Amino acid sequence: MKKTFLTSFMALSILLSATSCDSNDNVATTDKTAIEPTTLPSTAKTFTETYFPDAIYKSATKLKTPSVNGTVYDVSLANGFEIDFDANGNWTEIDGGTQAIPTSLIPEKINTYIAANYPNLFIVQIENEKTKYDVELSNGLDLVFTSGGDFVRIDKDGDNHNEVVVNSSTLPAAAKTLISTHFPAATIRLVEKKNSASTNGTIYDVSLSNGFEIDFDINGNWTEIDGGTLAIPNALIPAKIATYVTANYPNLFITQIDNEKTYTDVELSNDVELVFDTQGNFLRIDN
């Protein structure tokens, strides 16, 4: 299979500024070096030539320090695909831009889930975080799967690169108590810990088997509870907010609540969003 390799000094200089997959977007150019594609691990070269046989190498760079998902090599192909590899040449991320990633590269359970739930869409990006998979669909929707390919959640904040998967045993005691008290029949499917707290103080993202997602701060206090289409247990909702919703929206229920420290956001089952102050007093409908 014919490949075109960039060898001139000018080409190598251009390589340093080449775009790479999202997980390495924040890597300074001084932390990566342009290399000849011929020096890539054999596994990486075989992978590229097998799944993209007609592609031409546009650039290849090597990171001095592996990224959070283990990436060492960034490869850009002339067909628009960008592929990251670890030190051994195993892919860590594949980005097709607006193009579909070959289904043969996607874990079978993820393929099956996408085909069943998003039949008119396709995967344009997939990242193997070792302990989870992050997938982006052709409509921009981000999904998170376990390392076994089981669906966990929709990633609404798209902040996957600020999170690492941790064992549920590392959750603060208060967080574990809340889960066992209010969701006794649910099991913890995935726990992600942020490298830095979000604006509402969130450090831990917890996904439960019943579809609930709960965010906690460093001390294990909940910062956000998302039931999807399910009602949040009344015991978790501040009394004045629960009273207001019952009085003004008797046929609806709360599916999401977000404690922003200085105010509280609530989403109802008809998607209306309400804003309350820290004392639970109604402020306004959030348009």
Count of all residues that appear for the chain in the document: 287
The counts of H helices and E strands in the chain are: 5, 18
CA 185, distance to chain mean position in Å, is: 26
What pLDDT, on a 0 to 100 scale, did the predictor assign at position 5? 36
Taking residues 46-51, what's their average pLDDT? 95
The pLDDT of residue 54 is above 50: yes
Residue 209 clears pLDDT 50, i.e. is over it: yes
Q: State yes or no: pLDDT of 7 exceeds 60.
A: no
Which domains, ranges and CATH numbers included, belong to the chain? 32-155 (3.40.1420.30), 163-286 (3.40.1420.30)
What pLDDT score does 17 carry? 39
pLDDT score of 258 more than 80 = yes
What integer pLDDT is reported at residue 19 of this predicted model?
A: 43
Tokens describing residue 251: 């046929």
pLDDT > 70? residue 151: yes
For 115-120, what is the mean pLDDT?
95
Q: Which two tokens stand for residue 147?
A: 């390392």
**pLDDT tier at 24, thresholds 50, 70, 90:** low
**Spatial contact of 282 and 274, defined as CB atoms under 8 Å apart:** yes
Q: Which two tokens stand for residue 235?
A: 């015991």
pLDDT score for 152: 87
Q: Given a cut of 60, is residue 18 above it in pLDDT? A: no
